Structure 1
Amino acid sequence: MKKRIIIIGAGFAGLTLARHLEYPGFEIILIDRLNHHQFQPL
């Protein structure tokens, strides 16, 4: 049984955390208020 990790917010921090937590045996769920990724150059 996989352990579930839920990340709320898909900004830079949320996406970075999701990438760093990619290990076998973990299911990562990323939740954001938008259904698409929006990047605005700084």
Structure 2
Amino acid sequence: DVGEREASDYLLFLQARVENVCLRSLFANHQTFNVMRVQ
């Protein structure tokens, strides 16, 4: 079914976006931690 495939593609897309956001926030936290440690 075409609709099912589109739905699963969309879910994969959403999952990738969520992981990307999590990685970016983790990276930002890591950066602030390094800055705080240096000061």
What TM-score, normalized by structure 2, do the two folds share? Answer: 0.33
> Considering only CA atoms, is the larger Rg found in Structure 1 or Structure 2?
2
Task: Name whichever structure is richer in helix by fraction.
Answer: 2
Structure (1/2) with the larger strand percentage: 1
Higher relative contact order (CA 8 A, sep 6+): 1
